[in-house]
Amino acid sequence: MEKWHLMATVVLIGLTVRWTVSLNSYSGAGKPPMFGDYEAQRHWQEITFNLPVEQWAKFINPDWIALHSSRGYESQAHKLFMRTTVLIADLLIYIPAVVLYCCCLKEISTKKKIANALCILLYPGLILIDYGHFQYNSVSLGFALWGVLGVSCDWDLLGSLAFCLAINYKQMELYHSLPFFCFLLGKCFKKGLKGKGFVLLIKLACTVVASFILCWLPFFTEREQLLQVLRRLFPVDRGLFEDKVANIWCSFSIFLKIKDILPRHIQIIISFCFTFLSLLPACIKLTLQPSPKGFRFTLVSCALSFFLFSFQVHEKSILLVSLPVCLVLSEIPFMSTWFLLVSTFSMLPLLLKDELLMPSVVTTVAFFIACAVSFSIFEKTSEEELQLKSFSISVRKYLPCFTFLPRIIQYLFLISVISMVLLTLITVTLEPPQKLPDLFSVLVCFVSCLNFLFFLVYFNIIIMWDSKNGRNQKKIN
C-alpha cells in the first residue's frame, strides 16, 4: 500500500503501548500461594516442558521451569521472558491479522484504513489483559481473525483451518463457532447442495476433522485421558458463575439467588435454553442469507449471547465479543467505540486487583481520543449512520412520531459514560461498607450487564432489519 510508513508507525505505536503496559504488575504478583494467571502460565510451561519434551526453553534458564521446585517463581529476568513471549506471539499472529484486515476493507480511503488499524491496536481490553494481567489471548483471537479474513475473502478452507487452530488453542473460541458454521453452511446452500456446494461441504468437513485429529493426537491414547481433558476444558462442576462477571446470572442473583435455589442440572438447562434462544434468529438469518457483513455482526451477537447467558463465564470472555466489534468499527464507529469502552470498564475489578489503574485509565483515554479523532464519532449519530434506518422506517408505520431514536441513543451514551466514570471514581477512592464488601464490583457488573443487554438488542435489530435494503447496503459497503 502507498502509505506503508504510516501503517508501520501505527504498528510501532501499538507495540510501544503494549510493552509499556507490560512493565506494570501482573496477576497475582507477590501473592502466594495461589498467585494468579501469570503463575498459571508458568506452571503450564513447567508441565509441558517436563512431561513431554520441549527443548527450546532449556537454553534460557532451567530454574524457571524445574518441576515442583519452581512453583511461585518470580524474578525480574523471568518476568522479562514471559512478557517477551507475549509480545512475540502478538507480533507474529494478531498484529499481522489486524493490519491485513484493515488493508482489505473496501471503499474506504487509505487514511481511514490506517486510522482503523490504530484504533483496533489501541483497544485497551486486550492490551491490559494480555500485557498487564498476563494471558495469551492474542494467539487465539489472532487465529480467529485469520479465520474471519479467510472466510470473508472466499478462502474457506484456510479460514476454517485457522479457526480450528484458534479453538484448539483456547476452547472459549467456541463462542464464535456457530456463526462460522452457519456462514459456511449458508455458502454451501447458496452454491447449491447438489453440485459445488456439496463438494465445498465435504472439503470443509474434512479440513475441520483433520485439524482436530492433528491437535488431539497425543491425547487419543486412552479414553480416560480424553475424558479428563474434556472435564478440564468444560468445568461444569464449578457452577453457574464464578466471582463477579457482567452477565445475566450474576446480575440476576442480586435479586434472586438462583445458584442456591435450583439444582445444578436445571441451571445448565436454563442457561443452555436462554443462550440458544437468543442467538437463533441471527444464525438462521446468516444461514439463509450469507454475507460478510452479516457474518461479522452475527459474530458479535452470538458471542454476546454466550457471554450474557452461558455457564461459567469469566469477565475476560468479553474479549471474545470485543474482537468482532473491532471488526465493525468502520461501519458503526459510534456504537462500537461505546461498546469497547464498556467492555474495558466491565473488567475494572479485575484490573484494580492487578494494580493496573494507571495503564487502564491512560489506554482508555488514548483509545477514546483515537476513535473520536479518526472517525468523528460525535457527528455520526444519525439514523442512517447507526444503521437503524430500516428499523425506524418499519416502526414508523405503526408509530409515525418515532423520530427520536438517535437522540435517545445519545442520551443513553451520556448516561452510560457518566455512570462509568462515577463508578470508577467511587471504586478507587472510597471503601465499601462493612456489610457489603463486594458492593462496588457488583455495581460495576450490574451496570455493564445493562449496557450489554442494550447492545444485544441493538445488534440483533441491525441483523434482522438488514434484509430489506440488503442489496443497496452491499453496494455501499
Partner 1 sequence: MRIQLVESARGAAVMAALGIATGGGYWFSALALGVTLLKCLLIPTYHSTDFEVHRNWLAITHSLPISQWYYEATSEWTLDYPPFFAWFEYALSHVAKYFDQEMLNVHNLNYSSSRTLLFQRFSVIFTDALFVYAVHECCKCVDGKKAGKELTEKPKFILSVLLLWNFGLLIVDHIHFQYNGFLFGLMLLSIARLFQKRHMEGAFLFAVLLHFKHIYLYVAPAYGVYLLRSYCFTANKPDGSIRWNSFSFVRLTSLGLIVFLVSALSLGPFLALNQLPQVLSRLFPFKRGLCHAYWAPNFWALYNALDKVLSVIGLELKLLDPNKIPKASMTSGLVQQFQHTVLPSVTPLATLICTLMAILPSVFCLWFKPQGPRGFLRCLILCALSSFLFGWHVHEKAILLAVLPMSLLSVGKAGDASIFLILTTTGHYSLFPLLFTAPELPIKILLMLLFTIYSISSLKTLFRKEKPLFNWMETFYLLGLGPLEVFCEFVFPFTSWKLKYPFIPLLLTSVYCAVGITYAWFKLYVSVLTDPPVGKTKKQ
| Residues binding partner 1 (CB under 8 A) | 5-6, 8-9, 12-13, 15-17, 19-21, 23-24, 76-77, 80, 84, 87, 111, 357-359, 361-363, 365-366, 368-370, 372-373, 378, 421, 425, 428-429
In a 10 Å sphere around its CB, with 0-12 CB exposed, 13-18 middle and 19+ buried, how is residue 316 labelled? buried
- DSSP for residue 245: -
The total number of residues shown for the chain amounts to 477
CB atoms within 10 A of CB 133: 23
Candidates 308, 326, 306, 328; CA nearest to 179 is: 306
Task: Name the grid cell of 287.
Answer: 444461514
* Shortest Å distance, C-beta 256 to partner 1: 34
CB-wise, 159 or 349, nearer to partner 1? 349
- Give the amino acid at 370: A
Describe the crossing of helices 37-50 and 76-89 by its angle, rounded to 10 degrees: 80
Task: Compute the Cα dihedral for 419, 421, 424, 428 and give only its sign.
Answer: negative
**Cβ-based nearer residue to partner 1, 15 or 174:** 15
- SS3 for 261-329, per residue? HCCHHHHHHHHHHHHHHHHHHHHHHHHHCCCHHHHHHHHHHHHHHHHHHCCCECHHHHHHHHHHHHHCC
Candidates 413, 459, 135; CA nearest to 304 is 459
CB of 15 to partner 1, least distance (A): 5
**Cβ contact 336:185 at 8 Å:** no
Residue 260 Cα to chain centre, angstroms = 30
Q: Name which of 250 and 348 has its Cβ closer to partner 1.
A: 348
Which residue number, 111 or 231, has a Cβ lying nearer to partner 1?
Answer: 111
Is the CB of 180 or the CB of 368 nearer to partner 1?
Answer: 368
**CA 57 distance to own-chain centroid:** 30
Nearest distance in Å: CB 86, partner 1: 12
Q: Is the CB of 9 or the CB of 225 nearer to partner 1? A: 9
Alpha-carbon gap, residue 160 to 181, rounded angstroms: 9
Nearer to partner 1, 165 or 444 (CB): 444
Sign for the CA dihedral angle at 390, 391, 397, 399 comes to negative
Alpha-carbon distance of 128 to 321, in angstroms, equals 16
CB of 16 to partner 1, least distance (A): 5
* 6/395 with CB nearer partner 1: 6
At closest approach, how far in Å is the CB of 428 from partner 1?
5
Residue closer to partner 1 by CB (options 77, 229) is 77
